[in-house]
Chains A and B, each alone.
Chain A
Amino acid sequence: MIEIFGLLSELSLMTVWIAVAGVIVGIFFGALPGFGGSASLAIMLPVALVLSPLNAMVFLLAIYTGGHYGGGIPAVLMGVPGDASAAATVLDGFPMTQKGQASEALAFLAMGSAVAGIVSIIAFLVFAPPLARFALSFGPPELFMLVIFGLTIIGSIEPANMLKALMAGALGLLIASVGVDPYLGNARMVANIPQLYDGFPFIPSLLGLFCISQMLVLITRDNLVAPGQDVVTPSLKRTLRGMIDCFRHWRAMSIGTLSGTFIGALPGAGATIAAFIAYNVSKNTSSDPRSFGKGNPDGLIAPEAAQNAIVGGSMIPTFALGIPGSGAAAVLMGVMMYMGLRPGPQLFVEQLPLIQLLCLYLLIASVAMIAIGAVAAGAFCRVTRVPLPVLVPLVVVAASIGAYSTRGEIFDLGVMVAFGVLGYLLQRKKYPLSAVVLGLVLGPMAEQYFIQSLVMSNWNYAVFFTRPITMVLWGLIVVSVIVSILLYRKVARGTVEQPH
């Protein structure tokens, strides 16, 4: 049982400010068109790495939370989604603005996001501990199969590009295998470079894959300086009234929250899928489906709630099993490992108060998001119209500082640039970068569990097929592959709407 009063006494004002700062930073980057949640997290790594582990996690998770909400602001006010998942928000959010209901739309956005975020964090607190307790009974073969399950479900990220998603995940695994092997200590693919004996440095690789590659994608746009566009100024009074009215749309909020939390808990599935599924479910179960796409508040609230419920949902497998629920969760998991915390069932045994405190700060961050959303949404929309020619070089320098600050090696900056080029090429050819990062994060664990399993069974591969839980996991892997193939065939036939 969570001791609320004990936890409240542990609250630190500094960490509360860090949570609020994270929300503001997240909204800022989220509102920048082209900046995804993972890129926002990556760009702020230099700041996070100098904080304590708790403060760093609070800061990064608050950015993640604010980023989803921020992506909805330009979607509502200008019809330009901040990221792919906010594309669902445009469908009914922008028509509301066109009908003169921008204040109400922003209120629904803020309140829907915050409530869904709070419920998903409570869901994490309820479901993660028993899951972690169950996972404590897992041995290396089960843990290896769990990692493989997390990787195979990558295919569901983009059903139309399932082969590419799987290839990207495998590429991440191969990159992670560079360096000294965990069994005999032989160096693999290090090319006599001493810095590579520990493998490719994680933070510079991440910064290259998410930040540098995204900047390279952005500078290929035709109009680097976007043409001026008038932004509606929301009214504070109407926004506050809209926040209360939001609860009249409890059905859409519930659909969004449930689908976001559930989909977030599936390794590999992301906010874009959750937002579109919530939108479709809300539309199909509505008494007035024809009004969707024409400014129906339910069509705004359901996907927005789903996007923010992803945060708590994706924390369930990340913290309880050590399997990231999304690309951003993989970034967070990598940072935790860098700071000496190993996400997984053992974390709940060793660091339960830390996790509970983290959740408390996230609840505070969600409440702060309501306040910030009420007063500053319009201002964010204007501030974030920074011209790309100014933004791109500044981001490259910030990423370079982050890459250099981890070890003080110029080599790491080279790694960052190289991974930036790799990430750019992969993005251009529609290979999901989040799959590469999942592979990078899970690779060392997968190899360690694989070797441990074989050693404990005298190199008998039957160990992966004969234990009850591994059999269940095999079944789940087969089901996930079949579902991915069926989804792919539906997409190919055009019977399912593509999130992009």
Chain B
Amino acid sequence: MLVFREVMIPGLILITISIYYTQTRHLPLNSTIFPNIVMAAMGLLAIAIIIKASISAYRRSDFAQDPDTSGINQFRVPMMVALSAGFVAMLHVTSFMIATPVFLIGAFLFLGVRPLPAILIGVCGTAIYYLLFAVLLGLNL
């Protein structure tokens, strides 16, 4: 399990460079020479990190204070990402003035803000952002 945590990123990187290489191998060498060199370096680094993690796990020394033990708090991350993705989708379908308060209120409630302050800050926050960015700075929201 500990090894898996450490090799997750180099593993994902190895998959990514495999996809990148497969997608670009039909291109002329002059177009891909630079990313190919970078990918070769990344592949070597990924293998080195995996070997180092395996040795460390074998010795069990470097994992004495592993930071990934905060348990249930990790659950907030995918939920927040889902809320953010929902906000992006809602912005696409509706408008800033509708999507923003809905997202803000939803996120406040999810993170434990009481309903009344959540609604008030959500609505006021949207109005302030609109005034600042759209009216004052002239951004097209």
Do A and B come from the same complex? yes
- Chain A residues with Cβ below 8 Å from B33 are 450-451, 454
DSSP class of B's interface residues: helix, strand, loop or mixed? Answer: helix
CB distance from B137 to the nearest CB of A (A): 5
| Cβ-closest chain A residue relative to B112 | A389
Q: In the complex where A410-B91, A431-B9 touch, is A177 in contact with B35 (Cβ < 8 A)?
A: yes
**A78 interface residue (CB < 8 Å to B):** no
For chain B, residues 33 to 80, give those with C-beta under 8 angstroms from any C-beta of chain A: 33-35, 38-39, 41-42, 45-46, 48-49, 52, 67-68, 70, 73-74, 76-77, 80
Are B81 and A184 in contact, CB atoms less than 8 angstroms apart?
A: no
CB of A174 within 8 Å of the partner chain: yes
Among the listed A220, A397, A429, which residue makes an inter-chain contact with B74, where contact means beta carbons less than 8 Å apart?
A220
| Interfacial chain A residues near B8, Cβ < 8 Å | 425, 429
User: Is A398 among interface residues, defined by CB-CB distance under 8 A?
Assistant: yes
Asked if A428 is at the interface (CB within 8 A of a chain B CB), the reply is yes
Decide yes or no whether A490 CB sits under 8 A from chain B. Answer: no
Contact B138 A390 (CB under 8 A): no
User: Number of B interface residues, CB 8 Å?
Assistant: 61
Query: How far, in Å, is B125 (CB) from chain A's closest CB?
Result: 6
Pairwise interchain contact A417-B141, C-beta atoms closer than 8 A: no
B77 and A166 form a contact (CB under 8 A): no
What is the total of A-B residue contacts with beta carbons within 8 Å?
163
Known contacts A167-B45, A394-B125, A398-B129: does B139 contact A389 (CB below 8 Å)?
Answer: no
Residue A283, interface by CB 8 Å: no
Q: Does A405 contact B (CB under 8 A)?
A: yes
**Chain B residues with CB below 8 A from A174, complex form:** 16-17, 20, 35, 38-39, 42
Closest to B39 in A: A174
User: Given A170-B41, A174-B38, A414-B88, are A181 and B77 also a contact pair (CB < 8 Å)?
Assistant: no
B34 touches A216 (CB 8 A): no
Per-residue contact bits, chain A 398-410, to B (CB 8 Å; 1 contact, 0 not): 1011001100101
Q: Does A68 contact B (CB under 8 A)?
A: no
Q: Is the CB of B113 within 8 A of A219?
A: no
- CB neighbours (8 Å) of A414 from chain B are 85, 88
Q: In the complex, what distance in Å separates the CA atom of A421 from the CA atom of B12?
A: 13
**A397:B125 contact, CB within 8 angstroms:** yes
What residues of B have a CB within 8 angstroms of the CB of A388 in the complex?
111
B13 lies within 8 A of chain A by Cβ: yes
B123 to chain A, nearest CB (A): 13
Q: Is the CB of A417 within 8 A of B81?
A: yes
Residue contact A392 to B107, C-beta cutoff 8 Å: yes
- Residue among A181, A421, A450 having the largest count of chain B Cβ atoms under 10 Å: A181
Q: How far is the CA of A426 from the CA of B9 in the complex (A)?
A: 8
Q: Could you say which residues of chain A place their CB within 8 Å of the CB of B28?
A: 184, 186
Report the Cα distance A387→B112, complex, angstroms: 11
Say whether A100 faces chain B, with CB atoms less than 8 Å apart: no
Q: What 1/0 mask marks residues of chain A from 2 to 44 whose CB sits below 8 Å from any chain B CB?
A: 0000000000000000000000000000000000000000000
- B77, A389: Cβ atoms closer than 8 Å: no
Task: Determine the distance from Cα of A429 to Cα of B74 in the docked complex, in whole angstroms.
Answer: 14
Q: Are A188 and B35 in contact (CB under 8 A)?
A: yes
Closest residue of chain B to A394, judged by CB?
B125
**Interface pair B104/A183, CB less than 8 Å apart:** no
B121 proximal to A (CB < 8 A)? yes
Q: Are B31 and A184 in contact (CB under 8 A)?
A: yes
* C-alpha gap A400/B88 in the complex (Å): 8
Most buried by A among B45, B125, B126: B45
Q: A219 with B111: in contact, given A50-B137, A188-B24, A431-B9 (CB under 8 Å)?
A: yes
* In contact, A447 and B34 (Cβ under 8 angstroms): yes
Which of B5, B13, B80, B112 contacts A171 (CB under 8 A)?
Answer: B13
Residues on A with beta carbons closer than 8 Å to the beta carbon of B112: 224-225, 389
Q: B15-35: which residues lie under 8 A (CB-CB) from chain A? A: 16-17, 20, 23-24, 27-28, 30-35
User: Shortest Cβ distance from A361 into chain B, in angstroms?
Assistant: 20
- The reply to whether A410 and B52 contact each other, CB–CB distance below 8 Å, is no
A134-169 near B? 1/0 per residue, CB < 8 Å: 000000000000000000000000000001101100
| Beyond A166-B41, A188-B32, 14 extra complex contacts between A and B, CB < 8 Å | A46-B137, A171-B13, A171-B42, A219-B111, A220-B77, A222-B70, A389-B113, A390-B121, A401-B129, A404-B141, A417-B85, A425-B9, A447-B34, A451-B30
Q: Which 8 A-B pairs have the closest CB atoms?
A: A389-B111, A393-B107, A177-B35, A186-B31, A220-B73, A181-B31, A413-B88, A447-B34
Which residues of B are at the interface with A, using a C-beta cutoff of 8 A?
Answer: 5-6, 8-10, 13, 16-17, 20, 23-24, 27-28, 30-35, 38-39, 41-42, 45-46, 48-49, 52, 67-68, 70, 73-74, 76-77, 80-81, 84-85, 87-88, 91-92, 100, 103-104, 107-108, 111-113, 121, 125-126, 129, 133, 137-141
25 contacts between A and B (CB under 8 A): A50-B137, A163-B52, A170-B45, A174-B17, A174-B42, A184-B30, A188-B20, A188-B31, A188-B35, A220-B73, A224-B112, A393-B104, A396-B107, A397-B103, A400-B88, A401-B139, A405-B133, A413-B88, A414-B85, A417-B88, A429-B6, A429-B9, A450-B33, A451-B30, A451-B33
